[in-house]
Amino acid sequence: MVGELIALNTYTIPDRYPIARTHETLTQLSQAIFITSMDALKGFHQNLFTPHARKLLRIISHRGIYDNLRMPFGIKNAPPHYQRMMNTIFSHELSQEWLIIYIDDIIIFSETWKLHLKILSLVLKKIIQVNIKILLKECNFGFHKLKALGHVVSKLRLGVDKNKVAAILLKPIPQRQKEMTSF
């Protein structure tokens, strides 16, 4: 069941909680020899709503009344709320400067393999402890080079993910203003 969130988003006060800056994140990762990335499975959907929030996001249709128990995609403040939640969960680990949380991406980086395994163990224990589900097929463990935040990152170089660029280049050139806004 999908609800129309435009009206709710119009009246929602923006949450200005900061999300990691891509440039700063990539700069940090460029110093790493070993990098692990993990993706939280349907990140927003792992967030349970309070009874009050369920009422605000209620979907009413000819088939009945449905309450969202979990955060759906499309809510204006979903990204900053989820970022805050993840930063709170991993506050100690983030203070150690070997972990980056970018909304639902969990990135671990280190300069030695031994340290990397130790950090990975700590983070995985925390993930299990707080019951975060991870999308295993999107995980990359202990690589020297990997794709993160739309870029290819390694100690030797930083580049743009060619697949991301190809998708833009293959898109037809907009002919009308309406097409331009969707571009």
Pairwise pLDDT comparison (58 vs 89), residue with the higher score: 89
In angstroms, what CA-CA distances link 8 with 13, 57, 164? 10, 8, 32
Instruction: Please give the pLDDT value at position 168.
Output: 61
Where do the domains of the chain lie? Answer: 11-182
CA angle at 153 for the pair 149 and 74, rounded to the nearest 5°: 5
Report whether CATH 3.40.50.300 matches the domain 11-182: no
Look at residue 163 and tell me whether its pLDDT is greater than 90: no
**Cα–Cα distance between 90 and 172 in angstroms, integer?**
42
Which residue has better confidence, 131 or 152?
131
- Cα separation, 105 vs 141, whole angstroms: 13
List the alpha helices (DSSP H) in 63-161. Answer: 78-89, 91-95, 113-129
